[in-house]
């Protein structure tokens, strides 16, 4: 079994190397493991798990190794956590992150450039890091910090962040976008009310209520309207809702959103 395990591991490493070369362009921005930093992180983790007295010294050494480039250190911690294989590594790693007290800016600036290119494991670590910003106390997300960041470059919002926001909560993301792009296509009161109805129905459905016969046409009607809206963030909301609730989609709506001029909208509904 051990030999077989080594063989499998060797094959996987070889395969990973090949894939890395083949997809060099796509992975050019992927963070790379720094063996020295990884070794230092592991030492701190072991010290924490064993309750060793030198854990304070070890984490201080790690902090100094990060020096002024704390974003790189955070990325190395994310990579370490991506490969963690137990509660010991995961929770001790989280303790390190907490102790090093990264600011929301540091977290966002570290994660954002790599968010869309990350594989599922690393993306999971990244989104959990972002959750410490937008759901510090759990519950529904609070995107106000992101809004201030997006407002700095309103005409070119970072797609990775927008995608993340809609992925976590389409409703909260739409509300943020309405605040940011309020000068854009305006919502009429009636439309806003309809949207409120839709969000209420969606929340009830998420809680466990089945669609009632009158619900479906109402929902589809509002989503149909949103999918044609001039505001990309509203079309993106419709796309996000349809992705979560495929039974609400109509062929026409899906076709329209798949050929949307906005890449975010298009990508969200593409299979």
Contact positions vs other proteins (CB under 8 A):
48-49, 51, 55-56, 59, 81, 84-91, 94-95, 97-99, 124-125, 128-129, 131-132, 135-140, 204, 206-209
For other proteins, give the closer residue by CB, 80 or 232.
Answer: 80
- Shortest separation between residue 261's beta carbon and other proteins, angstroms: 32
- Quick one: DSSP state of residue 261? S
Sign of the four-CA dihedral 32, 34, 38, 39: positive
- Shortest separation between residue 244's beta carbon and other proteins, angstroms: 11
Contacts with 58 (C-beta within 8 Å, 6 or more apart), sequence order = 40, 43, 44, 47
CA 41 from centre of chain: 24
- Shortest separation between residue 137's beta carbon and other proteins, angstroms: 6
Q: Are 162 and 236 in contact (CB under 8 A)?
A: yes
CA distance 44 to 33: 17
For other proteins, give the closer residue by CB, 62 or 269.
Answer: 62
For other proteins, give the closer residue by CB, 83 or 154.
Answer: 83
For other proteins, give the closer residue by CB, 49 or 65.
Answer: 49
CA distance 115 to 138: 21
How distant, in Å, are the alpha carbons of 13, 162, 247, 248, 265 from that of 262?
Answer: 38, 12, 23, 21, 5
For other proteins, give the closer residue by CB, 84 or 262.
Answer: 84
Q: Are 218 and 201 in contact (CB under 8 A)?
A: yes
For other proteins, give the closer residue by CB, 167 or 229.
Answer: 167
- Shortest separation between residue 144's beta carbon and other proteins, angstroms: 17
Q: Are 170 and 244 in contact (CB under 8 A)?
A: yes
- Shortest separation between residue 128's beta carbon and other proteins, angstroms: 4
CA 148 from centre of chain: 18
- Shortest separation between residue 80's beta carbon and other proteins, angstroms: 12
The structure tokens 């009310």 sit at: 193
For other proteins, give the closer residue by CB, 39 or 85.
Answer: 85
CA distance 242 to 64: 48
- Shortest separation between residue 90's beta carbon and other proteins, angstroms: 4
- Shortest separation between residue 19's beta carbon and other proteins, angstroms: 24
For other proteins, give the closer residue by CB, 51 or 67.
Answer: 51
The structure tokens 């806003």 sit at: 192
Structure tokens at 172: 């909260």
Q: Are 238 and 253 in contact (CB under 8 A)?
A: yes
């Amino acid at each position: 079994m051990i030999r077989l395990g080594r063989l499998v591991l060797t094959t996987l490493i070889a395969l990973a190397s090949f894939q890395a070369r083949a997809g060099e362009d796509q992975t050019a921005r992927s963070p790379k493991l720094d063996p020295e930093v990884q070794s230092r992180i592991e030492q701190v983790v072991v010290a924490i798990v064993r309750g060793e007295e030198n854990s304070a010294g070890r984490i201080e050494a790690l902090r100094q190794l990060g020096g002024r480039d704390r974003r790189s250190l955070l990325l190395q911690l994310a990579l370490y956590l991506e490969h963690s294989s137990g509660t010991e590594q995961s929770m001790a790693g989280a303790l390190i992150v907490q102790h090093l007290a990264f600011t929301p800016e540091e977290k966002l600036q570290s994660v954002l450039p790599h968010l869309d290119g990350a594989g599922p494991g690393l993306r999971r670590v990244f989104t959990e890091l972002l959750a410490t910003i937008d759901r510090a106390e759990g519950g529904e997300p609070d995107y106000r910090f992101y809004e201030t960041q997006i407002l700095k470059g309103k005409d070119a919002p970072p797609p990775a962040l927008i995608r993340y926001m809609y992925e976590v909560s389409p409703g909260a993301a739409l509300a943020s976008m309405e605040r940011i792009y309020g000068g854009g296509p305006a919502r009429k009161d009636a439309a806003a009310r309809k949207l409120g109805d839709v969000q209420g129905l969606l929340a009830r459905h998420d809680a466990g209520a089945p669609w009632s016969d009158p619900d479906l046409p109402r929902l589809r009607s509002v989503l149909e309207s949103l999918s044609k809206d001039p505001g990309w963030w509203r079309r993106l909301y419709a796309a996000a809702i349809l992705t979560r609730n495929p039974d609400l989609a109509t062929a026409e709506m899906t076709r329209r959103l798949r050929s949307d001029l906005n890449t975010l909208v298009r990508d969200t509904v593409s299979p």
